[in-house]
Structure 1
Amino acid sequence: MIRPLFLALLLGSAASSAAAQELLIRGGTIYTGVAEQPTAEVVLVQDGRIAYVGPASGVPEIDYAETLDLQGATLFPGFTDGHAHLDGIGWRELTLNLEGSTSVAEAMARLAAWAEENPEGPIVGRGWIETHWPEARFLTAADLDAAAPGRIVLLSRSDGHAVVASSAALAAAGVDASTVAPSGGEILKGPDGSPSGLLVDAAEQLVAGLMPQADPEALREAYRAGFRVEAAYGWTGIHFMSAPWRDIPLLEAMAEAGEAPLRIYNSVTPDGAAALIAGGPRSVADGRIITRAIKYYADGALGSRGAALFEPYADRPETTGLMQITGEEIIPLYEAALRGGIQVATHAIGDRGNASVAEWYQQALNAVPAGDRPHGADVRWRIEHAQILRPSDYHWFKDLPIIASMQPSHAIGDLHFAPARLGDARLDGAYAWHSLVDMGVIVVGGSDAPVERGDPLIEFYAAVARADLEGFQGPDWRPGEAVDRATALKMFTLWPAWASFREDELGTIEVGKRADFSAFSVNLMTAPVADILNGRATLTVVDGVVVYRAESPMRIAP
């Protein structure tokens, strides 16, 4: 007996209890990600695993199955965000969100409204970026003071590598004209030597103590919000970068309680390195939450001029950026991770940052032979972002090898200011997805949300269009670094699975693999590129359980 299944949003314990023993999915094009059988008409799921993929005529005889009609939507292997910050995504929903603000004036109007609605306590927000503002400048303490007089205000730039603090916040933290920036940080100052309010990279720690400490239930709600947002975008999994070590027990408890509808692969903050290495990789709830990696930082971000470059910034020649760590400090930590069987992911954006990390990886790998590592030579170490490379350094990614974990939306946002920061010559190695893929490098696609919006359709579009959301590319933006659609699909499905050591379970729609699927109203493989941005997620399935379904799929393109 086959009957229709009508499912809407199913999150948390409800999703776990709603699992169908047998689930038949049909009614739309199914892309498997398998070259030998690229499309199928139906997929049959049994006990959370894929039992059949192929033509409708070949479906095995079954006594009972729920039927899920795609209603013309297009089904893919589960999309995985290869680099995101789940806690930040959740907090973005619960705090002042300055995304999309078009000017200093608009951003400050939002702050003033928030301050009026929330009259007590510090004000925390994120998402502003000055590159499109008519004022063409960073926010300052004076801006915040005028919008929220006397309040402690901390507003992070969209990249998370700079925060602007109000005068009250600076005073509370003891930051004044005499304060010396910590190594790897910068305190921007005005003509009179007083802090402007902007603190870059390591200098952000000067005001970290002013951030409101969330109570356990507020933190849990932030993670719930993050899960809701990501499921509705169509992500089935997230590589959670800089996952706070203190939050790992909470995430594991949520998974055990059925409150983690998506797969989470944790790369933890350095304060958890020793404990993770000593205890080894962690996995709970049948692999729903896996903690197996450590995230380190080599440099800062390009937008706030913290990315470490070999040559000075073209638009600020007195600086070459900010390294956050030295080889003497990090190589022993890398070696310890190798001996403990723990994956390493290191943030590097500038060409000097990337070259340094590659050289440090090589030194650590040479110091710890494969025979002294629990997983031998198969370490699958990563560089997160790998944004600005010297072409002469591409070989590191193939030779060592190194996974290049890159976020396509950074390129389509950065194209409006990166040429000014870098000059034309350095754009040859900027956001070089196609060049790395051509060399056989695994390029994992991600969003870096909440730095970016976090929509997989934006990321897929950026990878294949290499143009901003209005279609603008610019004459110097190296269009040849765009990738084809088959490659883009791997960047968000099979290659994140490989980067998390789960390619045998995830990443393609094949018999025996876990039943993780993402469906969209737009056919990513055939629709005009511009139409990709008009689509939306219609279905998200994890382990055969529907964790999100749109009320109406609204198919918009062939």
Structure 2
Amino acid sequence: MAVRDGVVTWLGSDAVGRERFPQAEVVDLDGGFVTPGFVDSHVHVTETGLCRTGLDLRPATSWRHCLQLIADYTASHPDQPIWGHGWDDSGWPDGGGPDAAALDAVVGERPAYLSRIDVHSALASTALRRRVADLPPETAAAAVLSGDAHHLVRAAARDLLTAGQRAAARTAALDAAAAAGIVAVHECAGPDIGGIEDWRELQALSHGVEVIGYWGEPVDSAERARELLSDTGARGLGGDLFVDGALGSHSAWLHQPYADAPDCTGVCHLDAATVEAHLRACTEAGVTAGFHVIGDAAVSTVVAALERVVDHFGVTAVARCGHRLEHLEMVDAEQAAKLGSWGVIASMQPVFDALWGGDDGMYAQRLGAARAAGLNPFALLASQGVPLAFGSDSPVTALDPWAAVRAASQHRTPGSAVSMRAAFAATTRGGWRAGGIHDGVTGTLVPGAPASYAVWEVGELAVAAPRDTVQRWSTDPRSGVPALPVLDSGVAPRCRRTVHRGVILHD
């Protein structure tokens, strides 16, 4: 491959290349291989960095273990507010759950904000809660806060972070993305996530990993849509514009109650009228709209609103906007067919299934095995022509695109997986397409494409698998499509270098 001025100019055999470009600087990959750079279609940059620079609770195997991690961090970081993330009680032994008094006993008078793995609920110390003047009284005794109470305490915790801490977190997150072979991320921002100040600071950061931003705030007129887009500089008005919450926090909005909470059907954050008004305004303005939708009631609300908007403006006008649905975990065949015919993009996170799918995973706990088996139906969506873009929702799951490829091609429900080739496309070209790039070459390595690529080492894969299965064609070899590494062993290729538009981001 030859690159000039940030663009791929030629591909061919080694001998021809050396003869054609005798003066070129030559980089010998020594057995490595090159892929297009990955695109993560859904991240939260600052929160990802805070997880890396702050307290990571994802390793906690029980409430007792979680408390020990908090205590150790508190002792080693005296006189600092505590920001942590990642506890997941769905895998903890029965009988041990979050307890507000126990948290206070560990952190004392320190403000502490500790988000659950899905970031839709959190533990908060009494010292932090006291900083929220209008916190509802009924939350005083609640160990875990969700909904509006969660947004309030998160905003209070965010206000305690210094500009230096936020800047260090963002740089750490984007450095980690580059080290994972990621050249671009879709930041899903909004008033209740990081707030406008965080968004402005992220826009001002010069890093190298491209940040494509979405702002999750509803509008009710085309004029307001254009105004908000101009004011924020966002690519679209969507991302985490919450219609509902998350299954793990019992806040995804369902038609039928949770199996493990029979009196609960989740939370509706946006009613049907607000959803439709937002879609109408954005479609009239030619702006990408989008929503966070997980539960089947949330999906039904958005699909019904889209249908009314299609009836009013026509399919072409709707498809031209590239509207997006984030997560889209509970979607049926009829809805998938409609979304495919309207050109609506599904921005999904395959590692959710790897973490929480299966007969005994969190999904089955919350919904029962039968309902859980229908979640994240990648094959169904692909078969109906719904464009797929894969990401991590980091910090919910790690910045690890190969893990997403593996999870999508090894879905825990038979019949729901897509091919490894399709999964790879959804983490490369799919991300650019979801971000509004339709030139036909970005996200590939062909002459004329941006030189955005990663160099990978497969040595560890050779140890983990027999040599003749280290690489395998994921499509018919006669097609000439390059091989992808076998990921069955669970060992991913190691990123040796990441380049975006000819600029080295990681080496």
How high is the TM-score relative to the length of structure 2?
A: 0.86
Q: Aligned pair 1:143/2:93, yes or no?
A: no
| C-alpha distance in structure 1 between counterparts of 2:260 and 2:338, whole Å | 29
Contact 2:390 2:427 in 1 (8 A): yes
Structure 2 gaps, min length 5: 459-470, 473-482
How do residues 421-432 of structure 1 correspond to structure 2 at under 5 angstroms?
A: 421-432=366-377
Q: Which residue of 2 aligns with 1:294?
A: 238
Native 8 Å contact 2:111 2:157 kept in 1? no
Aligned to 1:246: 197
Instruction: Check whether the contact 1:461–1:529 (CA below 8 A) recurs between aligned residues.
Output: yes
Q: Write the letter of the residue equivalent to 1:330.
A: V
- The aligned counterpart of 1:93 is 52
Q: Which amino acid aligns with 2:301?
A: S
CA distance in structure 1 between the partners assigned to 2:36 and 2:493 by the alignment = 17
Q: Shift in Å at residue 537 of structure 1? A: 1.7
Residues 381/209 of structure 1: CA separation in 2 closer, same or farther (3 Å cut): closer
Superimposed CA distance per residue, residues 242-298 of structure 1 (whole angstroms, 9 cap, x where no aligned partner): 2654344434433xxxx3211211111318998762275699xxxxx9734433111
CA contact (8 A) 2:5 2:502 kept: yes
Residue 168 of structure 1 is matched in structure 2 by 127
How far apart are the structure 2 equivalents of 1:315 and 1:216? 42
Aligned to 1:277: 226
Does the CA contact (< 8 Å) of 2:219 and 2:278 recur in 1? Answer: no
Q: Give 1:266's aligned amino acid.
A: G
| Aligned residues of 2:219 and 2:277 also touching (Cα < 8 A) | no
2:4 match: 46
Q: 1:521 aligns with which of 457, 475, 482?
A: 457
Equivalence for 2:265: 320
Corresponding residue number in structure 1 for 2:442: 506
Equivalent residues in 2 for 1:227-376, closer than 5 Å: 227-242=174-189, 244-254=195-205, 259-270=206-217, 277-278=226-227, 280=229, 291-295=235-239, 296-368=241-313
Could you say what the CA RMSD is over the residues aligned between the two structures, in angstroms? 2.7
| SS of structure 2 residue aligned to 1:395 | helix
How many residue pairs match? The answer is 472
Q: Per-residue deviation at 1:501?
A: 1.8
Are the structure 2 counterparts of residues 151 and 282 from structure 1 closer, same or farther at C-alpha, using a change threshold of 3 Å?
A: closer
CA shift, 1:482, in A, is 1.6
1:125 aligned partner? 84
Identical-residue share of aligned pairs (%) = 26
**Residue correspondence of structure 1 range 392-411 to structure 2 within 5 A:** 392-411=334-353
Instruction: State the distance in 1 between where 2:65 and 2:43 align.
Output: 27
Counterpart of 1:157 in structure 2 is 116
Q: C-alpha deviations, 1:380-431, integer Å up to 9, x for none?
A: 1111001122334222321223211110100111121111211233234211
Counterparts of 2:354 and 2:409 in 1: how far apart (Å)? 11
**Whole-Å Cα distance in 2 between the matches of residues 44 and 209 of structure 1?**
48
Partner in structure 1 of residue 137 of structure 2: 179
Aligned-residue offset at 1:210 = 2.4
1:241–1:489 CA distance, 2 compared to 1 (3 A): same
Contact 2:50 2:169 in 1 (8 A): yes
Residue 202 (structure 1) aligns with: 148
Residue identity in the other structure for 1:226: A
Flag the 1:236–1:421 CA change in 2: closer, same or farther, 3 A: same
In structure 1, how many angstroms separate the alpha carbons of the residues matched to 2:484 and 2:95?
39
Change in CA separation of 1:545 and 1:454 when aligned onto 2, cut-off 3 Å: same
Hey, which of these two has a bigger chunk of strand by percent?
1
**Which residue matches 1:543?**
501
**1:14-69 alpha-carbon deviations (Å, 9 max, x no partner):** xxxxxxxxxxxxxxxxxxxxxxxxxxxxx111100110122223337336322222
Structure 1 residues 528 and 212: alpha-carbon distance in aligned structure 2, compared to 1, 3 A threshold: closer
* Residue pair 1:50, 1:509 contacting (<8 A) in 2 also: yes
* TM-aligned CA deviation for residue 111 of structure 1: 1.0
Indicate which of 364, 384, 394 corresponds to 1:419: 364
Gaps of 5+ in 1: 1-42, 181-186, 188-193, 284-288, 467-476, 550-558
Q: 1:275 to 1:217 in 2, by over 3 A?
A: farther
Cα deviation, residue 489, structure 1: 1.1
Q: How far apart are residue 318 of structure 1 and its match?
A: 0.3
Amino acid at match of 2:86: G
Query: Partner residue of 1:191?
Result: none
5 Å matches for 1:482-497?
482-497=417-432
Aligned 1:469-480 pairs, distance under 5 A: 477-480=412-415
CA distance in 2, matches of 1:282, 1:238: 21
Matches within 5 A, 1:6-45: 43-45=1-3
Q: 1:418 to 1:252 in 2, by over 3 A?
A: closer
